[in-house]
Chains A and B, each alone.
Chain A
Amino acid sequence: MDIYTETILDHYQHPHHTGALNDATVSATEHNPLCGDVIKLDLKIKNNVVEKIGFVGNGCAISQASISLLCDAVEGKKISSLKKLKPKDIYDLLGVTISPGRIKCALLGLSALQKALKLTKN
């Protein structure tokens, strides 16, 4: 199956929410030692809601598209609901079957988000 769908390529080549936030309340960095992909996620959280999100990083089409899609999905959401996000939610956003070798790429953004949420005081 072709994983390079229009959606994935579009988010890879024109990712949403790129750039660091000047007024971030929490940040987290995650990297994949196998391929060297690195992302830094900035969140501005107010009243337990993610008001703004931005990321800086580089990586493969799968990791970058999944981060871009995740950022779209996260903005404006409550922390409590984001803490429930599971890998399956990311695969659904991507809309393609992820092979075992690419799971880490697909979930890089989610694991950065989970790291950031852990650092956030309730």
Chain B
Amino acid sequence: MQQIKKDFPIFKRTINGKPLVYLDNASTTQKPIVMLKVLENFYFTSNANIHRGIYTLSEEATDKYEAVRKKAAKFIGARTEEEIIFTKNTTEAINCVRVSWGEKNIKKGDEIVVSSLEHHANLVPWQELAKSKQAALKIIPLTNDYTLDAEAYKKLLSPKTKLVCLTVESNVTGTIVPVKQMTALAHAVGAKVMIDGAQSVGHIPTDVHNLNCDFFAFSAHKMLGPTGVGVLYVKQSLMEEMAPFMYGGEMVESVKATSATYRSGPWKFEAGTPNIAGVIAFGAAIDYLSNIGFKKIMAHEQELLAYAKKMLAKYPQVKIFSPSQKHAGGIISFAISGVHPHDIATIFNNEGIAIRSGLHCAEPLMNYLGVYGTARMSFYIYNTKKDIDTAEKALKKVLKTFKL
């Protein structure tokens, strides 16, 4: 893992005269040159629209695009590529479920259960759906260890529950949620389950078939792929009854002057020209990650997390928001009493270190944690212990600047 930084051209950059230390991987990851080459090559040598032209270029583009659907399906353990819908990101994928499944299936008096660890992307769409359908939104509370309260969750479930929305990994605390057990409990009361895998798919193995969830969303850009590509997995038995998400070209079967019929399978949900180059390049990102393997990725992140936790714990002024090790991925949030997270981030940036600060698109969670925001370090394959040593130097500067 020591040589991996060399595969990422951005690490040649300096920030404020210092080598870039990138610790904001939960926001987006950096891009390996192999993926960038595929992106470039597509536009240089293969650019054409898909599913349309009866000519070589278009057929090539279609084949490459559809091959990534297969690859993505395999990567997350879907049974067939027909369960994979390409979207622009996780947020759009979740909103597709809200519109295409939620509008039809959520009714007055129903209940939607969401966890208190959710990113706004897996919360606000359900707030809106609940509001418009006069359904109730129920929140699974946190324990003192920043995990979800399993007992409280069981009590929230009832035959009224129609949908349960869970993240696999919190983008703030790094908490890994036991989604498989929670999915089984939701199914036992007849609810469907929407999983947000944005933080997990590039970090821990995913097996949607084994997980048995109904919907699963994630983004390419958080796992070395380009921005503008997301995936929505939908269990095949549910897809047919779902309404189209958007209407227009590509998703139609036959169009008359005043009506139209629609394609079936994932193509029904992909109206208009998709991010063809992005999807194809995403395939290269999947290959890159597969070559390294999750065993190595997970061991590396766990090592960095433990090292970072130990470093932060040396400073009594620092409060850490992270569950006990076995429940955490490579994300750690912290706060310093008397220093705003933005000021921490500014001083880190002076040292060339990119960290995220603020609310992390998880405002309700900040309220549960009782803070106005946190500073967050999130790790990936190219990070090193040296990066965390540099972070410690910056942390010392924060404490010195604010005389703490």
Shortest CB-to-CB span from B54 to chain A, Å, is 49
A60 with B340: CB separation less than 8 A: yes
Supposing A4-B401, A9-B402, A102-B346 touch, asked if A34 and B340 sit within 8 A by C-beta, the answer is no
CB-CB under 8 A from A3, the residues of chain B are 346
B357 contacts A by Cβ under 8 Å: yes
B359 contacts A by Cβ under 8 Å: yes
Supposing A34-B358, A35-B358, A35-B373 touch, asked if A105 and B401 sit within 8 A by C-beta, the answer is no
Name which of A3, A34, A61, A102 has the most chain B CB atoms within 10 A of its CB: A61
As a 0/1 sequence over residues 51 to 83 of chain A, the CB contacts with chain B under 8 angstroms (1 = contact) are 000000011111000000000000000000000
Q: Which residues of A1-47 are within 8 A (CB) of B?
A: 2-4, 9, 13, 34-37
Shortest CB-to-CB span from A88 to chain B, Å, is 21
Which one of B346, B350, B358 contacts A36 once the chains associate, using CB atoms below 8 Å?
B358
As a 0/1 sequence over residues 339 to 359 of chain B, the CB contacts with chain A under 8 angstroms (1 = contact) are 111110011001000000111
A interface, how many residues as a size bin?
10 to 19
Shortest CB-to-CB span from B349 to chain A, Å, is 9
Q: Which residue of A lies closest to B372 (CB)?
A: A36
CB-CB under 8 A from A60, the residues of chain B are 340-343
B372 with A58: CB separation less than 8 A: yes
Shortest CB-to-CB span from A87 to chain B, Å, is 18
What is the bound-complex CA distance between A91 and B160, given in angstroms?
A: 56
Total A-B pairs, Cβ < 8 A: 45
What is the bound-complex CA distance between A62 and B340, given in angstroms?
A: 10
Supposing A4-B401, A9-B401, A9-B402 touch, asked if A36 and B373 sit within 8 A by C-beta, the answer is yes
Shortest CB-to-CB span from B17 to chain A, Å, is 12
Q: Which residues of B315-343 are within 8 A (CB) of A?
A: 338-343
B343 with A35: CB separation less than 8 A: no
A35 with B346: CB separation less than 8 A: no
CB-CB under 8 A from A62, the residues of chain B are 342-343
Shortest CB-to-CB span from A3 to chain B, Å, is 7
CB-CB under 8 A from B358, the residues of chain A are 34-36
B271 contacts A by Cβ under 8 Å: no
What is the bound-complex CA distance between A22 and B363, given in angstroms?
A: 31
Supposing A9-B402, A58-B372 touch, asked if A36 and B359 sit within 8 A by C-beta, the answer is yes
Shortest CB-to-CB span from B130 to chain A, Å, is 22
Shortest CB-to-CB span from A32 to chain B, Å, is 9
Interface residue ranges, A against B (CB under 8 Å): 2-4, 9, 13, 34-37, 58-62, 102, 105
21 contacts between A and B (CB under 8 A): A4-B347, A4-B401, A9-B402, A13-B338, A34-B358, A35-B341, A35-B357, A35-B358, A35-B359, A35-B372, A35-B373, A36-B363, A58-B372, A59-B340, A60-B341, A60-B342, A60-B343, A61-B339, A61-B402, A62-B342, A102-B342
Q: A59-B340, A102-B346 are in contact. List 10 more A-B contacts (CB 8 A).
A: A4-B347, A9-B402, A35-B342, A35-B357, A36-B373, A37-B340, A60-B340, A60-B343, A61-B339, A61-B343
